[in-house]
Amino acid sequence: MPARADTSQQYALFLPDGASQTTPLLIVLDPRGRGEMARDLVLDGARARGWAVMSSWQSRSDTQEGITLRALDALLIESANVPHDPKRVYLTGMSGTAKTLWVVAPVLRGKVSGLIGSAGGRPPELPPLASDAPPFFGWTGTTDFNLQEMRALD
């Protein structure tokens, strides 16, 4: 479905039965913009735990970071039209889109509850973490080229 504020941005949506102002929201940034597939990867857990999911069709890794930033901005604006608890918004990405989460984290301070990253850690060129950085949960394989970035977060 298109985002109202920027119709060039589309997303796949899942709303649990009874979605309300207490529903947590997961915003998914897939590295290849596979909105529906990425949403479906978390669908069983979201359905079982009552989470809403918005997943971008435009997010990208290994290209201009502005593309993913624009997708995220559109979803954050659009989230005002999705029933959820604004204190329970989580962002997730994989590889380069996980790294992008760290770029926007300072701007989103107080607007997101946590970051979830798969195979992509905090870019080493960023300044040191602030004491009020959002919580992060991440994982990667032992042969992934992003392993050192992930280890640096420990």
Tokens of 120: 């992509």
Residue 2 lies in a domain: no
Residue 6 placed within a domain: no
Q: What does the pLDDT look like over 33-74, one tens digit per residue? A: 999 999 999 999 999 999 999 999 999 987 788 899 999 999
| CATH number for position 54 | 3.40.50.1820
Given pLDDT bands bounded at 50, 70 and 90, which one contains residue 109?
A: confident
Residue 5 lies in a domain: no
Residue 112 lies in a domain: yes
pTM: predicted TM-score of the whole model, two decimal places: 0.92
Q: Which domain holds residue 121?
A: 11-152
More confident residue, 109 or 21: 21
Whether residue 58 is contained in a domain is answered as yes
On whether residue 72 sits in a domain, the answer given is: yes
For the chain, the domain total comes to: 1
In tens, the pLDDT along 139-152 reads: 988 898 888 888 88
Contact yes or no for 113/92 (Cβ under 8 A): no
Say whether pLDDT at 2 is over 90: yes
Q: Are strands 11-14 and 25-29 parallel, antiparallel or unpaired?
A: unpaired
**Residue 128 vs residues 109, 131, 133, 153: alpha-carbon distances, Å:** 15, 9, 10, 11
> Which residue's structure tokens are 């870019």?
123
Overall average pLDDT of the 16-43 stretch: 96
